[in-house]
Amino acid sequence: MQFMQAGQNMAQQFMEYLGQAAGSRTEAAPVVDPQALTVLQKQFMDQQMALWQSMLAKQQGQEQQFKVTPEHGDRRFSAPEWRESPVFDYLHQAYLLNTQYLKQIVETIPANDDKAKERMRFLARQVADAMAPSNFAATNPEFIKLALETKGQSITDGINNLLEDFERGRMAMTDESVFEIGKNIATTEGAVVFENDLMQLIQYAPLTPKVGTRPLLVVPPCINKFYIMDLQPDNSLIRFMVEQGNTVFLVSWRNPKEDLGHLTWDDCLEHGPIAALRVARDICKVKQVNALGFCVGGTMLTSALAVLKARGDDAAASLTLLTTLLDFSDTGEIGLFIDEQGLAMREATIGKGGLLPARDLQNTFSFLRANDLVWNYVQSKYLKGQKPPAFDLLYWNSDSTNLPGPFACWYMRNLYLDNSLRVPGKLEMCGQRVNLGDLDMPVYLLATREDHIVPWQSSYLGTRMLGGKARFVLGASGHIAGVINPASKNKRSFWINEDLKSDPEGWFAAAEEKPGSWWNDWAAWLKPLAGTPRAQRLPGSANYKPVEPAPGRYVKERAL
Cis amide leading into 70 (omega within 30): no
Same domain, 265 and 137: no
At residue 251, the pLDDT reads 98
Q: To the nearest 10°, the Cα dihedral for 130, 132, 138, 139? A: 180
Same domain, 127 and 202: no
At residue 25, the pLDDT reads 47
List of long-range contacts for 144-148, beta carbons under 8 Å, 24+ apart: 145/81, 146/384, 146/385
Same domain, 226 and 119: no
pLDDT level of residue 12 (50, 70, 90 thresholds) = low
| SS3 at position 474 | strand
Domain membership of residue 19 as a residue range: 2-149
Same domain, 97 and 235: no
Domain contains 396: no
pLDDT tens digits along 468-509: 999 999 999 999 999 999 998 888 999 999 999 999 999 999
DSSP 459: H
At residue 5, the pLDDT reads 53
Same domain, 109 and 210: no
* 30 has pLDDT over 70: no
| SS3 at position 134 | helix
- Angle (CA) 30-31-35 rounded to 5° is 145
Task: Name the catalytic one among 222, 268, 284, 295.
Answer: 295
Q: What is the pTM of this model?
A: 0.91
At residue 19, the pLDDT reads 52
Domain contains 200: yes
**Average pLDDT value over all residues in the chain:** 92
Active site residue 268: no
Q: Contact at 8 Å (CB) between 523 and 186?
A: no
Classify residue 176 by burial, with Cβ atoms within 10 Å: 0-12, 13-18, 19+. middle
At residue 24, the pLDDT reads 45
Q: Contact at 8 Å (CB) between 194 and 275?
A: yes
If you write DSSP's letter for every residue of 484-550 in order, what string do you get? S--TTTT-SEEEE-S--SS-HHHHHHTPEEEES-HHHHHHHHHGGGS-SEEE---S--SSS---EET
* 17 has pLDDT over 80: no
At residue 60, the pLDDT reads 81
* 433 has pLDDT over 90: yes
Same domain, 198 and 138: no
Domain count, the chain: 2
| SS3 at position 466 | coil
pLDDT tens digits along 278-333: 999 999 999 999 999 999 999 999 999 999 999 999 999 999 999 999 999 999 88
* 432 has pLDDT over 60: yes
Same domain, 218 and 135: no
More confident residue, 202 or 34: 202
CA–CA distance, 144 with 146 (Å, rounded to integer)? 6
Domain contains 379: no
Q: Contact at 8 Å (CB) between 552 and 252?
A: yes
Q: What is the mean pLDDT of residues 375-381?
A: 95
Domain contains 265: yes
Pick the last residue of a domain from 133, 149, 165.
149
If you write DSSP's letter for every residue of 239-307 in order, what string do you get? HHHHHTT--EEEEEE----GGGTT--HHHHHIIIIIHHHHHHHHHHT-S-EEEEEETHHHHHHHHHHHH
pLDDT tens digits along 395-423: 999 898 999 999 999 999 999 999 999 99
For residue 52, the Cα-to-chain-centroid distance in whole angstroms is 41
Highest mean pLDDT among 101-110, 171-180, 481-490, 512-521: 512-521
pLDDT tens digits along 37-87: 888 899 999 999 999 998 888 888 787 788 899 998 899 999 999 998 889
pLDDT tens digits along 304-314: 999 999 999 99
pLDDT level of residue 368 (50, 70, 90 thresholds) = confident
What share of residues in the chain are helix, strand, coil (percent, to 5)? 50, 15, 40
Classify residue 317 by burial, with Cβ atoms within 10 Å: 0-12, 13-18, 19+. middle
pLDDT level of residue 29 (50, 70, 90 thresholds) = low
At residue 15, the pLDDT reads 52
pLDDT level of residue 168 (50, 70, 90 thresholds) = confident
At residue 35, the pLDDT reads 85
* 245 has pLDDT over 50: yes
CA–CA distance, 163 with 174 (Å, rounded to integer)? 16
Domain contains 110: yes
pLDDT level of residue 460 (50, 70, 90 thresholds) = very high
Pick the last residue of a domain from 132, 149, 166.
149
* 390 has pLDDT over 80: yes
Domain contains 390: no
Q: Contact at 8 Å (CB) between 505 and 522?
A: no
Same domain, 124 and 240: no
CA–CA distance, 365 with 115 (Å, rounded to integer)? 18
CA–CA distance, 444 with 524 (Å, rounded to integer)? 11
- Looking at the chain, the whole-number percentage of residues with pLDDT higher than 90 is 79
At residue 448, the pLDDT reads 97
Q: Contact at 8 Å (CB) between 499 and 507?
A: yes
At residue 63, the pLDDT reads 79
Same domain, 42 and 137: yes
| SS3 at position 41 | helix
| SS3 at position 221 | coil
* 2 has pLDDT over 70: no
